[in-house]
A = this chain, B = another copy of it.
Amino acid sequence: MNRKLRMGMVGGGRGAFIGGVHRIAASMDGLIELTCGAFSSEPGKSKASGADLMLPPEKCYGDYEEMILTEKNLPEGERMDFVSIVTPNHMHYGPAKLAMESGFDVICDKPITFTMDEALDLEKTVAATGRVFALTHNYTGYPMVKQAKKMIADGKLGKIRKLVVEYPQGWLTDKEEDNNYKQAIWRTDPERSGIAGGMGDIGTHAENLAEYITGLQIEELCADINIMVPGRLLDDDGNVLLHLNNGAKGILYASQISAGEENNLRIRIYGELGGMEWAQQEPNSLIVKWHGKPMEIYRTAVGNLYPVTKAHYRIPAGHPEGYLEAFANIYRNFALAVIAKKEGKSPDPIYDFPTVKDGVRGMQFIQSVIASGKSQQKWVKF
């Protein structure tokens, strides 16, 4: 390609959080430019938001249908290449389906949809249209996560026996949905989030990260799903026992009332030969605790890391990369797949990203964990 890919965004208007993250991530590696958007369901707000981003008014659409259908009819040299969907959960399915059916590739925030049925339908749509579809489970974009996954796949830890993945946050300690706090309001609203609150918002990240790194699958689970803040409508804390498909045991928890915690996603994996620990708040370190040998700390850009690891950082050792860079890795890899398709090439598997399958699995997780939380039966199949 001798030009940047053109991105049209759905959602992410003034006051949104994740839309800005997607825009920075998209622009990081010089492969993508934002050329249009339906930033808000209010046309005026959409245009104002686009103006903030220095887009001309005619590229700021009133809704996603207008954007997709208009852009579809533009000539190749002007048309957007793909759609980025950054709306609340209940607004993912519509634009994703229409975009793919209109010939556009899609990158979409998680969880993939509002309902399981929608997720399964998108899975079919991807298959039917052959479009590239990426889901922004951004935590899998960190270089040391890539290193961990490959070390485990290479058998460095031996057979995996135990997994602990935890995702405590404290930002919903108070009833922020009553405080005109936009992020809190939609995330605690069953009309926009779906059947799960924290389990959908961050539990799915934990589930995705755990299965991604280990290459294992959760087979059955036993969940204690709680609303700890009186009056809240969706879960804000959940503790889950896991059985994995190789016989390993595990714990997953996600909490948004862990007062004082920031965004403390952390995973520990133990095999027959050693343990491994990675924490998102210190993402450039991967701690490997060998059984009977000194522990090692693998660091971004230090030493002889795997090629897949090296492909996911930009700057030398000791120059910390963070959340935005990991998020950008998802966009970069998605962009490379879009370009490869345009050029009729196979994408390089080193540049992987979460797909519609991860999205479906995430919805299954939400369903299972919420069902288990309501059940008096101990184990629920995943």
Which A residues form the contact surface with B (CB < 8 A)? 1-4, 17, 20-21, 23-24, 27-30, 51, 53-54, 157, 161-162, 164, 166, 168-171, 173-174, 222, 224, 226, 228, 237, 239, 241, 243, 249-251, 253, 255, 257-264, 268, 270-275, 280-284, 288-299, 301-304, 314-325, 375-379
Contact = CB atoms under 8 A, between A and B. Distances in A.
Contact of A162 (B54, B243, B255): B255
A147 to B, nearest CB: 10
The listed residue with most B CB atoms (<10 A of its CB), out of A298, A324, A379, is: A324
B54 A30 contact: yes
Q: State how many copies of this chain the complex holds.
A: 4
Contact of A320 (B241, B317, B322, B379): B322
Given A27-B30, A263-B319, A321-B322, 18 more contacts: A2-B54, A21-B315, A24-B314, A161-B257, A162-B237, A171-B317, A239-B241, A255-B270, A260-B288, A261-B318, A262-B302, A262-B317, A262-B319, A263-B316, A293-B303, A294-B302, A294-B303, A322-B322
A174 B251 CA distance: 22
Interface residues of chain A: helix, strand, loop or mixed (majority)? loop
Nearest to A265: B318
Contact of A271 (B3, B20, B259, B325): B259
For the complex of A and B, 10 pairs with smallest distance between CB atoms? A263-B318, A262-B318, A260-B289, A320-B322, A260-B275, A262-B317, A319-B323, A259-B291, A322-B322, A294-B296
B173 A291 contact: yes
Contact of A291 (B170, B255, B288, B321): B170
B241 A259 contact: no
Nearest to A142: B320
A91 B295 CA distance: 37
Contact of A263 (B28, B170, B317, B323): B317
A275 B297 contact: no
A343 to B, nearest CB: 15
A107 to B, nearest CB: 18
Contacts of A173: 272, 291
A249 B226 CA distance: 8
Given A161-B228, A296-B296, A323-B321, A250 B260 contact: no
